[in-house]
Structure 1
Amino acid sequence: MTLRELHDGWTLRHSGGGIPPAFAGVAAEPVPATVPGVVHTDLLAAGLIPDPYVDDNESLLSWIGRCDWTYELTFDAPADGADNHDLVAEGLDTVARVVLNGVEVATTRNQHRTYRWPVGALLRPEGNRLEVTFRSPIAYAEEREAVLGERPHGYVHPYNAIRKTACNFGWDWGPALVTSGIWRRIGIESWSGARIASVRPVVGVDGDARRVDVHVELEWSDDATDLEVVAHVAGERAAVAASIGTSSVVLSITAPDVELWWPRGHGAQPLYELTVQAGEAEWSRRIGFRSAEIDVEADADGSPFTVIVNGKPIYIRGANWIPEDTFFARITRERLAERFTDAEESGMNLLRVWGGGIYESEDFYELADERGVLVWQDFLLACAAYSEDAELWDEFEAEARDNVTRLSSHPSLVVWNGGNENIWGWVDWGWRPRLKGATWGEGYYLDLFPRVIGELAPTTPYSAGSPYGFSRFVHPNDPKHGTVHIWDVWNQVDYDVYRTYRPRFVSEFGFQGPAAWSTLFSVVHDEPADPYGPLMLVHQKANDGNGKLERGLGAHIAEPQSIDDWHWATQLNQARAVRFGIEHFRSLHPLNQGSIVWQLNDCWPVISWAAVDGHGIRKPLWYALRDVYADRFATIQPRDGGLALVLHNDSDSPWEASVSVRVLTFAGDERTSMDASASVPARSAVSVALDVSSDDPTGEFVVAELSTGERAFWYFDEDPALRLSPSPVVASASAVEGGYEVRVRATSLAKDVTLLVDRADAAARVDRGMVTLLPGDEASFRVTAPAGLDAEVFAGALVVRSANDLVPVTVGV
């Protein structure tokens, strides 16, 4: 019983809605269609539209989302002698009418569901004609909003009136390229006897006991016979007899010899093949054995949000995840694997699949299982009020049951979350007067979703929202309780305000910075290049985003005087702002139990909060995250009118180190020093008071160096006031096996040395960044790039950058 994919031979044609005269050729005749895929990528492949990501093509192509489109295929029926033939569609985007051989099979209106329809009676041996017609999702959403009633939502289109990916209608980091198409697999599944409709393993771990209850849903053919359902895992077996018509059975297996699955950094990730057989039908998937819970019990400081796996608290070092491409069918396992590598190598142990995106592919969750990256999964509601009328309620319930069942086998998935910012929105965003008593989604968060989780995934914890205080009697975004989003930083105030927070858990916060130079200017072609150029602003989706970028420099970085310095300054400031926040959050451990930065990835080339841009290039932020998300972390923080060295040891081994603390001039002369020793138990933090001061705050700094290699810095003033050398490094480059090596020697203090290697070659990547060098230090940077380049391009002034480059010359001399 396998899906015979119907992916080859499709055509696409325009079937309704206005087309601008410049694109009249779109309506001329059908074009080849790639399935899975969407209309935009098919028209692009046919040469009928320009690249939607380039310049202002986004608005040029807005008409596509206002049109109807029809996919057509002719195929032969399976000749396998099976009794039943089902048409299975794993993803239709979104409002579809499915017709087979002139007969309407179904209509759909939910992008996030899998559909199955029996079509055996309609099939012919040869020449079957399948048509899938998609209505304009924008027109449909507007129509349903008029029926259901207008409710607050974050952006132009009423994405809360249709079960389609919210960010597909545009977000403050993403384009409004509203898609239609067969975006996941479609095909014919043929079967006889009994079919395994679904398998839902519910793993239980209680002390040394390991158990899995395998819930199996069955469907029967008319001429089926009684059979035995058998499950195997880890050398253990369970079986149960099933008579004709039995819709479900449960097989319970105790597996005493399995090892526990752990998050990365806490242990191994053993996975065990679970197979289920029912007659000729078979299902298999790898599962892991773990327990998961969240501690939200009130304490003297409020109420925590502590993720606990296998009875062990896990300090969360995470990032929010958005769809990896606006056109989802282009997202491959290889591309996802690259982003998981980005997450792992930066020290992350959790990705939050945000509620304005999608339930990700099996590839995503399998990679998370294999690599030990925890997954926090939102239900797909974001920044809006949602009707609870039956029309949407029924879709939400079907969608939730579909996806919870599909994903329940993955040990990496440890949090289900009701949605993004919707409870906060109802409390704080002026919704109540507009709603006038209308439903807004509370029933989903406090009734439907927890009920579905309790029934289908009872061993995975649930949160009603993010942010959320886990009580109706506290503000949903109170830092003392549960999870908090910190967005006054970036939107309104300087990033030093992070230090005024004492959050239990930060599930969103972040700061913007542009994509890598080569990424950004591959799609932005203003002449001359200008941060406020009209095409640049197409790729800056945040409200007053560039104004906030510039105001965000604050006292930290002087106003840049060129496009090159603007790009470097805003990238640097993004990295510093987020680093500042996480250093503070980690210094509060154990009060603080983690943070989830907004965001790891981008869906296109853009100015955004991402650490890795739309072309997969790691921004300076990524290198800063690798430092502050390290297992062993050191920071100097203000404490009680002085300074303290705070050490957070998020590893299973004690951290013993000698500490040297010095006050140095920028030229490297020592003014004062002190020595100390540090002993930090596993998964703990300690604070060491520092007896240091400076008589020359614009010419001196503090460095704490640990014998285990960590460093922490403190500056007595902001960069524009410091007498930093404007030329603090000497760089040289040479070709080496597998790439290039750049050696950078500091002649005076060089802050945040970073190589923007893509400026020399767009394919180039570098192994480290945001490295502060003491006078006399030498650092080696390894560059991977195409062979045959002149190595010295990687030592150029626009490639080798430091914060010193941005200090006004009158200060640095």
Structure 2
Amino acid sequence: MHDGWRLRAVGGPIPEHIADVEVPARIPGSAHLDLLAAGLIPDPYLDRTEADLAWAHRADWRFTLDFTAEAARPGERVDLAFDGLDTVAAVELNGVVLGSTANMHRSYRFDVRDHLREGVNQLVVTLRSALTFAEEQEASLGWRDRAYGHPFNAIRKMACSFGWDWGPDLQTAGIWRPVRLERWDTARLAEVRPLVTVDDDGTGRVEVHVTVDRASDAPVAVEATVDGRSETVVVEGDRAVVTVLVPEVDLWWPAGYGDHPLYDLDVVLKAGEPVDERHRRIGFRTITVDTTPDDIGTPFTFVVNGEPIFAKGANWIPDDHFVTRITRDRLARRVDQAVAANMNLLRIWGGGIYESEDFYDVCDERGVLVWQDFPFACAAYAEESPLWEEVEAEAREHVARLTSHASLALWNGNNENLWGFADWGWPEQLQGRTWGLRYYQELLPAIVAELDPTRPYAPGSPYSPGDLHPNLDTHGTRHEWEVWNRVDYTHYRDFVPRFCSEFGFQGPPTWATLTQWIHDEPLSSTGPAFLLHQKAEDGNGKLERGLAPHLPVPEAFEDWHWATQLNQARAVAFGVEHFRSHWPRTAGAVVWQLNDCWPVTSWAAIDSEERPKPLYYALRHAFAPRLLTVQPRDGRDVLVAVNDTDEVWTGEVTATRWTFAGEERAAAKLALDVPARSVAVLDLAPELLTPADAEREVLVATTADARAVHLFREDVDLAYDPSPLTATAVAVPEGYRVDVRATSFARDVAVLADRVAPDAEVDDALVTLTAGESHSFLVRTSARLDPAALTGPLVLRSANGLCAVPA
């Protein structure tokens, strides 16, 4: 029931040109998007429009649909089903109030057989201001601390809808998931919950738990079929379990560890003839998290099919603040980018949503593990009614909904709330009021144990067991935010976490995205629109303080933009390489964050227009299956070889100390023999680490499939050749090839192709060349360009050029 809806504002401080105006409404959708489509508001992401739309925080909306239907026949059930309402809604059919809702994360079903008319019917959904409702709830339940001003913790709505340090404060309202009128008799499948495991002998086991709604007392049976094997059971009452065994199944593996085959599961409800059916795709694998105490503390290691996994991943936020615009194709592109960056895990962060089936389907297909937070983030939450009942209902619904997905690897209770209670002054502020602990320690683990015992549960992120501080590096999961907030990124090495589930550094979006959405004159980091799209507290100050120890802080905005992007990429890669070098003690590096929900200066590797930032390429290098990195160990620098493949890594490393001009000062051959999924430490001879001129020399270690570059000073103290490159560009079938040659050592060479054409994307970036080396970049674009534009001074970039720019 998606066509023919109308939208009207019915309350709040509505602008005169919108008051009393009715516009077409797209369902699924939201009020903002309907007003935008009608030309009544500018794009909310443009310049300072977000601030101009603050009136909508207090607006009430009415969605109306007139539709034709037949009245219910004798014995027929007719249900009005909403998969998602955002958020505080009253639902009426033909003037009869069917019910009210206050949870964006739930679906709703109303029995309308007594209210449906023959002929024309009218369905009305009235949505109150979520902010006003949340304030009322907070007044009733008591104030509780939170990371941002609005009481997002008093309502079950996407927390970042109220703004975050990377997201806009737009507070959507609408019918955000599909709505249907369902007619049925006899019985229907209300819930299909497959629990999929693998027995010790390699037999796949599928236990299909079924819940049935009945319209009559007719006998019904449920049949489940997997890989040509079928089993049937009679449904007694309203529940049944049917088990299908599949011998010698092909195992589902995470990306980089093997294939990810999926099997069809068909479930049919029969009353003699089929009356309902469901289709799922399942993958056979086992998954646990190893938290067995050791001599260090408590590990946190994903184990899939008995094999320990180093989690190479990123945190995931909704890919558009207006979540109804997110398509399966967009999700597929984003997950493909993650896989291309050598990632095997995405963490769905607790300030967002339970994602759509499309998201998990795409991850199933590509072998990407999904860490699923329950939607609690950076706040204390009341445990009293009505929040308790809402949380229980939503958790039961989504745990049951998602059990079929092979990619789903972990249920996690919350984001940073245990840490908040420990360190953010909550006990004094709460004065004995509840803050959410019973959700994380009692309700949610009980629901997971009941409905999805095939998967592990963690109480929170970060988390340490027992009475320990939740953010220790020796136990469980850790978030590392001293870097970025207070200290230089080299301090990542101060800790060796068991699993780092959040760490990151900011940088602006790509130039094409920035200039598409921000039009300050002149364009600068202090312009009013730029600052509205920089949501972090003292964000620009932290960018520049983080930049200064490594690179000059340029005056020209074009150079500032490149420098802060480059520093973001280096900072995060520095952390990733450190964490990976300590496998198996450290078993995961999950970067904050993969994606953006609007055009913004943020921690993302991919901006809101789907363009990779320099950070993306740095992550692809740092997460490579085989990595060489120079790291400190016991007071000396060593070469660490990380082998995240199933094959032994053997061969020879050539380690050379070069001058920037290309003169060899010292060299050595190192034998390489790294077992599968292991790390080896190689000693470096003193002559490799003792430069004659630290400002003009570099150590380079190479094998056939990996390279490490180690400098003896920070860039600000190096005597770079400011113009170390010669380059030509030529047209090729896919776009253009840019051939670059270094006449002197050139660090972090990049072609910022989107500056030339908005659709242009380069195949690699941040490539470091020694004197005499060459590299070819492939730029894919549909645009017809002057090839010389791709070698211009603002397009062909390196760190060298920044160090020649006056600070």
**Alignment pair present for 1:804 and 2:803:** no
SS in 2 for 1:528: coil
In the alignment, which residue of structure 2 is the partner of 1:699? 696
**Alignment pair present for 1:421 and 2:412:** no
Amino acid at match of 1:704: A
Q: Which of the numbers 695, 704, 708 marks the counterpart of 1:712?
A: 708
In the alignment, which residue of structure 1 is the partner of 2:467? 473
Written as runs of structure 1 = structure 2, the 5 A alignment for 1:267-278 is: 267-278=258-269
Shift of 1:546: 0.2
**Alignment pair present for 1:53 and 2:45:** yes
User: In the alignment, is the contact (CA less than 8 A) between 1:306 and 1:593 conserved in 2?
Assistant: yes
User: In the alignment, is the contact (CA less than 8 A) between 1:494 and 1:554 conserved in 2?
Assistant: no
**Alignment pair present for 1:39 and 2:34:** no
Shift of 1:118: 0.9
Cα 1:76–1:225 shift into 2, 3 Å = same
In the alignment, which residue of structure 1 is the partner of 2:98? 105
What are the superposed Cα offsets for residues 722-765 of structure 1, whole Å, 9 maximum, x if unpaired?
A: 11100011121111112111111111111000111111111111
In the alignment, which residue of structure 2 is the partner of 1:604? 598
In the alignment, which residue of structure 2 is the partner of 1:661? 655
User: In the alignment, is the contact (CA less than 8 A) between 1:234 and 1:258 conserved in 2?
Assistant: no
Task: Provide the rounded CA distance (Å) in 1 between the counterparts of 2:448 and 2:253.
Answer: 22
Amino acid at match of 2:188: R
Shift of 1:809: 6.3
Written as runs of structure 1 = structure 2, the 5 A alignment for 1:125-274 is: 125-208=118-201, 209-222=203-216, 224-243=217-236, 246-274=237-265
User: In the alignment, is the contact (CA less than 8 A) between 2:70 and 2:117 conserved in 1?
Assistant: no
Q: Identity rate of aligned residues, in percent?
A: 54
Amino acid at match of 1:655: W
What are the superposed Cα offsets for residues 62-106 of structure 1, whole Å, 9 maximum, x if unpaired?
A: 111211000000111258968111000001000000000000011
Task: Provide the rounded CA distance (Å) in 1 between the counterparts of 2:556 and 2:319.
Answer: 31
Q: Which of the numbers 653, 664, 671 marks the counterpart of 1:670?
A: 664
SS in 2 for 1:76: strand
What are the superposed Cα offsets for residues 690-726 of structure 1, whole Å, 9 maximum, x if unpaired?
A: 01221211111100011x2311011100111111100
In the alignment, which residue of structure 2 is the partner of 1:3? none
> Normalising by structure 2, what TM-score?
0.98
Give the superposed CA RMSD.
1.2
Q: Which of the numbers 409, 425, 430 marks the counterpart of 2:425?
A: 430
Amino acid at match of 1:765: E
Task: Provide the rounded CA distance (Å) in 1 between the counterparts of 2:805 and 2:66.
Answer: 70
Task: Provide the rounded CA distance (Å) in 2 between the counterparts of 1:809 and 1:141.
Answer: 50
> Normalising by structure 1, what TM-score?
0.97
Task: Provide the rounded CA distance (Å) in 2 between the counterparts of 1:791 and 1:179.
Answer: 44
Amino acid at match of 2:358: D
In the alignment, which residue of structure 1 is the partner of 2:732? 736
User: In the alignment, is the contact (CA less than 8 A) between 2:735 and 2:779 conserved in 1?
Assistant: yes
**Alignment pair present for 1:724 and 2:720:** yes
Range 327-336 or range 78-87, more displaced: 78-87
Amino acid at match of 1:274: L
Cα 1:369–1:518 shift into 2, 3 Å = same
In the alignment, which residue of structure 2 is the partner of 1:118? 111
Amino acid at match of 2:442: D
Q: Tell me how many residue pairs correspond in the alignment.
A: 798
User: In the alignment, is the contact (CA less than 8 A) between 1:623 and 1:770 conserved in 2?
Assistant: yes
User: In the alignment, is the contact (CA less than 8 A) between 1:62 and 1:178 conserved in 2?
Assistant: no
Task: Provide the rounded CA distance (Å) in 1 between the counterparts of 2:787 and 2:737.
Answer: 8
Shift of 1:810: 9.0
Task: Provide the rounded CA distance (Å) in 2 between the counterparts of 1:123 and 1:447.
Answer: 42
Shift of 1:284: 1.1
4+ runs deviating over 4 angstroms: 78-82
SS in 2 for 1:27: coil
SS in 2 for 1:630: coil
What are the superposed Cα offsets for residues 46-77 of structure 1, whole Å, 9 maximum, x if unpaired?
A: 00001100111101001112110000001112
In the alignment, which residue of structure 2 is the partner of 1:9? 4
Q: Which of the numbers 22, 25, 48 marks the counterpart of 1:30?
A: 22
What are the superposed Cα offsets for residues 266-296 of structure 1, whole Å, 9 maximum, x if unpaired?
A: 1111111111111211111111111111111
SS in 1 for 2:266: strand
Shift of 1:138: 0.6
What are the superposed Cα offsets for residues 778-807 of structure 1, whole Å, 9 maximum, x if unpaired?
A: 111111112422121111110110000111
Task: Provide the rounded CA distance (Å) in 2 between the counterparts of 1:558 and 1:400.
Answer: 49
SS in 1 for 2:168: coil
In the alignment, which residue of structure 2 is the partner of 1:546? 540
What are the superposed Cα offsets for residues 139-191 of structure 1, whole Å, 9 maximum, x if unpaired?
A: 00011100010000111100000000000000000000111000000011111
Shift of 1:227: 2.0
Task: Provide the rounded CA distance (Å) in 1 between the counterparts of 2:192 and 2:154.
Answer: 31
SS in 1 for 2:17: helix
User: In the alignment, is the contact (CA less than 8 A) between 2:72 and 2:116 conserved in 1?
Assistant: no
Task: Provide the rounded CA distance (Å) in 2 between the counterparts of 1:192 and 1:36.
Answer: 27
User: In the alignment, is the contact (CA less than 8 A) between 2:71 and 2:117 conserved in 1?
Assistant: no
Task: Provide the rounded CA distance (Å) in 2 between the counterparts of 1:681 and 1:704.
Answer: 19
Task: Provide the rounded CA distance (Å) in 2 between the counterparts of 1:709 and 1:486.
Answer: 30
User: In the alignment, is the contact (CA less than 8 A) between 2:554 and 2:805 conserved in 1?
Assistant: no
User: In the alignment, is the contact (CA less than 8 A) between 1:260 and 1:269 conserved in 2?
Assistant: yes
Amino acid at match of 1:61: L
Range 367-376 or range 114-123, more displaced: 114-123
Amino acid at match of 1:529: L
SS in 1 for 2:748: strand
In the alignment, which residue of structure 2 is the partner of 1:770? 766
Task: Provide the rounded CA distance (Å) in 2 between the counterparts of 1:336 and 1:41.
Answer: 20
What are the superposed Cα offsets for residues 208-233 of structure 1, whole Å, 9 maximum, x if unpaired?
A: 232111100001013x4112211111
Written as runs of structure 1 = structure 2, the 5 A alignment for 1:570-609 is: 570-609=564-603
Amino acid at match of 2:489: Y
User: In the alignment, is the contact (CA less than 8 A) between 2:71 and 2:113 conserved in 1?
Assistant: no
Cα 1:133–1:28 shift into 2, 3 Å = same
Task: Provide the rounded CA distance (Å) in 1 between the counterparts of 2:635 and 2:142.
Answer: 55
Cα 1:212–1:78 shift into 2, 3 Å = farther
Cα 1:605–1:695 shift into 2, 3 Å = same
Shift of 1:123: 0.9
Task: Provide the rounded CA distance (Å) in 1 between the counterparts of 2:57 and 2:769.
Answer: 51
**Alignment pair present for 1:336 and 2:327:** no
Cα 1:513–1:809 shift into 2, 3 Å = closer
SS in 1 for 2:18: helix
Amino acid at match of 2:701: A
Task: Provide the rounded CA distance (Å) in 2 between the counterparts of 1:318 and 1:452.
Answer: 27
Shift of 1:247: 1.1
What are the superposed Cα offsets for residues 569-614 of structure 1, whole Å, 9 maximum, x if unpaired?
A: 0000000000111111111112111110000000000000000001
Structure 1 unaligned residues grouped into runs of 5+: 1-5
Task: Provide the rounded CA distance (Å) in 1 between the counterparts of 2:730 and 2:707.
Answer: 28
Task: Provide the rounded CA distance (Å) in 2 between the counterparts of 1:110 and 1:647.
Answer: 49
What are the superposed Cα offsets for residues 249-281 of structure 1, whole Å, 9 maximum, x if unpaired?
A: 011121113211111111111111111111211
User: In the alignment, is the contact (CA less than 8 A) between 1:642 and 1:690 conserved in 2?
Assistant: no
Written as runs of structure 1 = structure 2, the 5 A alignment for 1:293-332 is: 293-332=288-327
**Alignment pair present for 1:643 and 2:637:** yes
Task: Provide the rounded CA distance (Å) in 1 between the counterparts of 2:281 and 2:71.
Answer: 32
